[in-house]
Amino acid sequence: MSVRARHVVLASLLLVAPLAGQDTTRAAAAVAEAAVPFGVGERLTYDVRFGRIHVGNGSMEVAGIENVRGRAAWHTVFRVHGGIPFYRVNDRYESWLDTHTISSLRYVQQIDEGSYERQRRFEIYPDRRIYVEDQNEPEPSVAHPLDDGSFIYFLRTIPLRIGLDTSLNNYFRADRNPVRIRVLRRERISVPAGTFDAVVVQPIISTKGIFSEGGRAEVWLSDDSRRIMLQMKSKLSFGSLNLYLKSYRPGPTAPGAKTPDSTRPAP
């Protein structure tokens, strides 16, 4: 798997951007009062393919609730591993999300790709609207920040209305905003985990790559209260990238959260 291909895999799983039919302040306030459809112990696994060729596996999980600077935070972990002979990938991305606001408090990357290795740690301060990368000087952020990993969890707390086309300015790196979200249609699909009713979402960000306007990436989320990511497809200059849900293990319902729908796929 090439470096570019690995970054596409990461973007596909983690840059599924948030949705909101309202301004960012009202959206954050709504999330603070909303129940969430995930809890500690939830785990999803994916088959990663270029065209029909299996190239790796991915997983997402809620590992626990931890204290970050005096605030309770969900600790989420995304991993991707695989590749081809003589080039292997073993990456890990972690996010810590405030349990009341789902704002990002910390984001850690551990990248191991062939001969390339890099680690980065972002401390994010919503109240001060700044973030700090490693030991560098503070950079501008936003009031209710979301990092790459937390976007998908935020998205799962928001109603998805077909036809909605909106923008949001909550990415923690202020100069990367806005993110545009289009909710395209409902569809019934089959993946290795089963057959599901889904809502299809198209995220578009102001950058080059898979979620640029030319990327035509589409993401399938389960059409129920869980909003788990079932599938992603995109058309790229060097081929088609597809991700398919292999398994889903729900975690116990978080305190104050509503009970998710049955974990069984649609009949």
> Taking Cα atoms as reference points, which of 39, 143, 58 lies closest to residue 99?
39
What would the mean pLDDT of 116-143 be, rounded to a whole number? 94
**Which of 33-37, 103-107, 153-157 is the most confident on average?**
103-107
Query: What is the Cβ-side half-sphere exposure of residue 80, based on CA atoms within 13 angstroms?
Result: 29
How open is the CA angle 144-149-153, to the nearest 5 degrees?
70
Cα–Cα distance between 214 and 266 in angstroms, integer? 33
pLDDT at 256: 40
Q: What is the mean pLDDT of the chain?
A: 79
pLDDT at 252: 76
Residue 51 has pLDDT above 80, yes or no: no
> Taking Cα atoms as reference points, which of 110, 59, 53 lies closest to residue 84?
53
Query: What is the Cβ-side half-sphere exposure of residue 180, based on CA atoms within 13 angstroms?
Result: 13
Residue 22 is classified by DSSP as: S
Q: Who wins on pLDDT, 2 or 77? A: 77
Cα–Cα distance between 88 and 264 in angstroms, integer? 34
pLDDT band for 148, please (50, 70, 90 cuts). Answer: confident
pLDDT at 254: 46
Burial class, 19, CB count within 10 angstroms (exposed 0-12 / middle 13-18 / buried 19+): buried
pLDDT at 179: 83
